[in-house]
Each structure stands twice: as structure tokens, then as C-alpha cells.
Amino acid sequence: MVIDVKTSSATGKIDIGEDVIARRLPYLLQGQKNFVLTDTNVYALHRPFFEKWMQGEELFVLPAGEEHKNFQSLQAILERMAAAGLKRTSRLFAVGGGVVGDIGGLCAALYMRGIDCVQIPTTLLAMVDSSVGGKTAIDVAGVKNIVGAFHQPIEVLIDPMFLGTLPEREWKCGIGEVVKYAAMDRHTFDALAAVDGNITKDLAVGLIENSVRYKAGVVERDEKETGERKCLNVGHTTGHAIELTYGLSHGESVLWGMKIETLLAIEAGVCNPAHGARLLQFVDKALALDGGEKPDFSNLGAAAGKASLDKKNTGDGNVVMSVAKDYGEWTLFTLPLPQYVQALTELAKKL
Ligand SMILES: NC(=O)c1ccc[n+]([C@@H]2O[C@H](COP(=O)([O-])OP(=O)(O)OC[C@H]3O[C@@H](n4cnc5c(N)ncnc54)[C@H](O)[C@@H]3O)[C@@H](O)[C@H]2O)c1
Ligand SMILES: [Zn+2]
């Protein structure tokens, strides 16, 4: 399946299926020297892929982990690109999860003021979310994604073959973002509702196609997040606060954020209780994956209140959340900080 993405700044496409590598990669590599970025885990698990398809290209293997999405890595990658003599026509291929995609995309945006980037996502999270939409970034001074650029990939090649080596914890993270789309998009909701038991590769492809089609549409209409793209932050206000406070991964934090914000929105009469209940079922099923561990949320109210205001910089003492209203509908939901802290303190006892 091919989905076109046309924004005011660029035109790209997303190609999903088990034949995308053979069909598109040789064509995209040919004619120039290219740069391939991956991480240590992906390289170790998928070495035959690199040997078969990327032989002769400049390869950079980043140590795995969010802590390497930083200035030092950015500098090392850019220096290697320059030393390898990459030209303006060269392409950067980011083969990995969201970390490789985010920092790789930023290097492509910066090198010679911008070269083509091809995203080859290897985690479910990167397939359904981070590889699409052109947001690139690194973390600086302890703040996530604070330095970055919009740089649309010319192509995103999504091959479900990579999911074969994904640990359960990473499935859980990816499902966190899929539930986010299900909160707003009927097609993703229905695809998720059809999952009964284990997610097979075919079901995963269905979830990816629906999520990506929805995200691509939103990005086309609002690339720079001045309005509609804010809907992609469902669960993320509280999720980011949880990520910062408890050090959970992004996708897991989003799941907790969705749970909390959906409960708040139902309580406030903003979210239809029946729709909210279905979303909570999805969230709870995903949270039960990988041992279903729950952090100690005893200081959740104060901690989340502080972190969510820091991150959003609203400046007016309000916490703004994107929440589901009903099947296929979302809205912005604002709570004054003291009320948000109080509500989370109460909720933490019941999570
Ligand atoms: N740009 C965006 O729009 C956007 C959207 C959502 C998230 N993000 C960013 O994405 C990042 C999270 O992405 P992520 O969850 O993919 O993290 P990640 O890139 O750290 O990958 C998670 C782990 O899975 C490993 N891995 C990758 N592919 C694998 C495979 N096929 N088999 C086995 N292991 C594999 C990685 O080495 C890593 O240890 C965060 O930095 C977040 O800020 C960006
Ligand atoms: Zn996210």
C-alpha cells in the first residue's frame, strides 16, 4: 500500500508491505553515495539486511537508547557525513526505532542545509508514528525533543519483517500510540477492536496502515502543529509528565497518560462514557503486556502537575490536554493546575 503525503514544504510517500525493500530500496540507493544510520540492537539483529542491501554505503551504528539522542551523537554523525564526502544529492537512510529516526532526520535536515531522508522504521512505534510527519529532534539539557526541525522524509519504507525481533515491551510502546489514533479515528478503532488475543503480523499491518493513513492526513492539513495536529497529543500531556517523572518509555507513558486523561474527560462530561470505556479497555489490555508492572504513583498529582506545566509552557496556570470526545471526535480539554493536581492525586489511588 502506498500513501502520498503532500505538505506545503514537500511531497513524500509511505510504502507499507513485505515487498517494499526489494521494490524501492535499490532504486533509492542508486546513483550516489549514501549514509545509513542505525543502532547497535538493530544492526546486531538484522545484519543480513544491511549486508544484502546497504553494502558499500557509509554506515554509522549509534549505541541504542534514548540517552544517545543528544548533541554528542548529532555531532559525531554530522562529522562522519562530512568526512565521508557526502554530497547534496546523497541520501540519509534511518533504519531503526524513533531514536534513530529522530536524530537521523535532524542530521538530514542540517547537512548541507538539507539532504533527502528515507525512513525505514523497525519498531512498531516508529512504524505507526515517529517515521511519519517530518518531526526530527534531539534531547538537550534534560528536555526531550527541544532542538529539532521539520524535515519531511522523501519516503518511508515500512516492512513488517522487522517486527519479528521486537521484544514484548516494544510492542507495548507501539500499541500506546495506536490506541492514541483509535481515540480519534474510527478506522484505527475498528482495526484495534478486531485484535483478539495475540497481534499477528497481518493484524499489525492493518493497525499500521490505519494509523499511518490517519496521521498522514493530519500532517497534510497541519504540518507545523498550529491546530489539528495537536490531536496527535492525546494522552501526551500527562504522558510526558509521567515519562519525565518516572523514567518509563515514551509509549508506556502515553498509555498511562491516556488512561488518566480519559478518566478525567469522562468525569468532566467531555468524553462519552461508552467510548471512554472502550478506550480504557484497549489501554488496560496494552498495559498488561510485558508483566504489566505499575509504577508507584503515590506522588503523581504534584509531580505530573509540575512537569506538564513546564513542558507545555502555557504560562496561564492551565493544563491543556487533547482528549477523545466520542467515536471519531476529539477536543482540547483544559483544567486549572490546582484542579488537575487534585484530580490526579485522587486518581492515583485507583490506578
Ligand atoms: N518524530 C516524531 O513524530 C515522534 C513521534 C513519537 C515518538 N518519537 C520519538 O521516538 C522515540 C521512541 O521510539 P522507539 O520506541 O522506537 O524507541 P527506540 O528507537 O529507542 O527503540 C526502542 C528499542 O527497540 C530496539 N529496536 C529497534 N528495532 C528493533 C527490532 N526490529 N527488533 C528488536 N529491537 C529493536 C532499539 O534498539 C531500542 O532498544 C522517542 O525518542 C520519541 O521522542 C518521535
Ligand atoms: Zn508519542
Ligand 1 center from residue 90 Cα (angstroms): 24
Question: Does the beta carbon of 125 sit less than 6 angstroms from any atom of ligand 1?
Answer: yes
The mean pLDDT value for 302-321 works out to 76
Q: Beta strand pairing status for 116-121 and 155-158? A: parallel
Nearest CA to ligand 1 atom 34: 166
Residue 32 has pLDDT above 90, yes or no: yes
Predicted confidence at residue 311, as pLDDT, reads 60
Q: Do residues 235 and 204 both lie within one domain?
A: yes
Residue 327 has pLDDT above 70, yes or no: yes
The mean pLDDT value for 341-347 works out to 94
Measured from the Cβ of residue 228, the count of other Cβ atoms closer than 10 Å reads: 14
* Helix H or strand E segment including 74: helix 71-83
Supply the CATH number for residue 33's domain: 3.40.50.1970
Q: Do residues 149 and 211 both lie within one domain?
A: no
Q: Do residues 131 and 195 both lie within one domain?
A: no
Supply the CATH number for residue 213's domain: 1.20.1090.10
Residue 160 has pLDDT above 70, yes or no: yes
Predicted confidence at residue 316, as pLDDT, reads 78
Measured from the Cβ of residue 42, the count of other Cβ atoms closer than 10 Å reads: 24
Is 181 in contact with 193 (CB distance < 8 Å)? no
Q: What is the DSSP letter of 63?
A: P
Higher-pLDDT residue of 196, 319: 319
Measured from the Cβ of residue 169, the count of other Cβ atoms closer than 10 Å reads: 13
Q: What is the DSSP letter of 228?
A: G
| Index of the ligand 1 atom closest to the CA of residue 132 | 3
Average pLDDT, the chain: 93
Ligand 2 center from residue 126 Cα (angstroms): 10
Q: Select from 165, 192, 222 the last residue of a domain.
A: 165
Predicted confidence at residue 101, as pLDDT, reads 98
Global pTM value: 0.94
Residue 312 pLDDT grade (very low, low, confident, very high; cuts 50, 70, 90): low
Phi, psi of 174 (to 5 degrees): -65, -40
The mean pLDDT value for 198-220 works out to 91
Question: Can you tell me whether residue 186 is helix, strand or coil?
Answer: helix
| Index of the ligand 1 atom closest to the CA of residue 163 | 31
Question: Does the beta carbon of 99 sit less than 6 angstroms from any atom of ligand 1?
Answer: yes
Q: Do residues 289 and 322 both lie within one domain?
A: yes
Q: Which domain holds residue 50?
A: 2-165
Q: What is the DSSP letter of 131?
A: T
C-alpha separations of 168 from 160, 255, 282, 285, 292 in Å: 15, 15, 16, 13, 11
Q: What is the DSSP letter of 154?
A: S
Total domains present in the chain: 2
